[in-house]
Amino acid sequence: MKLTKAKSKELGESFAKLLEQPENFMVISSDFCHWGKRFRYTYYDPESGPIYKSIQKLDTLGMDAISSLDPDVYWSYQKKYKNTICGRNPISILLNVSNSIELTNDNLN
């Protein structure tokens, strides 16, 4: 199943309800880009220098998108680069969890 933006938001909202309960905990892990022919992902930006520098820049952009805590920023990054980040779907859901909890907390204050 391909994770859509709408499904990611829906799952994020569901998990947010669980994570608002202090007895629940969630771990999301990633080793980022899987690059090479065997992964069918060979994005390369020659302006970045050697391939490893291009991959490093690509992953840094991904980490920046995740650090924004904005699911739309992350989806735009993925749409542009299609990075084969291991764990990209759980990361997307987690960003929606964060967004959901933040909206809920704003409503409580």
Q: Return d(Cα 22, Cα 2) in angstroms, integer.
A: 31
Other beta carbons within 10 Å of 9: 19
Number of domains forming the structure of the chain: 1
Digits of tens for pLDDT over the chain (109 positions)?
Answer: 689 999 999 999 999 999 888 898 888 888 899 999 999 999 999 999 999 999 999 999 999 999 999 999 999 999 999 999 989 999 999 999 998 886 655 555 5
What is the pTM (predicted TM-score) of this model? 0.84
Q: Characterize 45-77 residue by residue with b for buried, 16 or more Cβ atoms within 10 angstroms of its Cβ, and e for exposed.
A: eeeeeeeeebbeebbeebeebbeeeebeebbeb
Domain that holds residue 79: 5-22+30-108
pLDDT at 48: 96
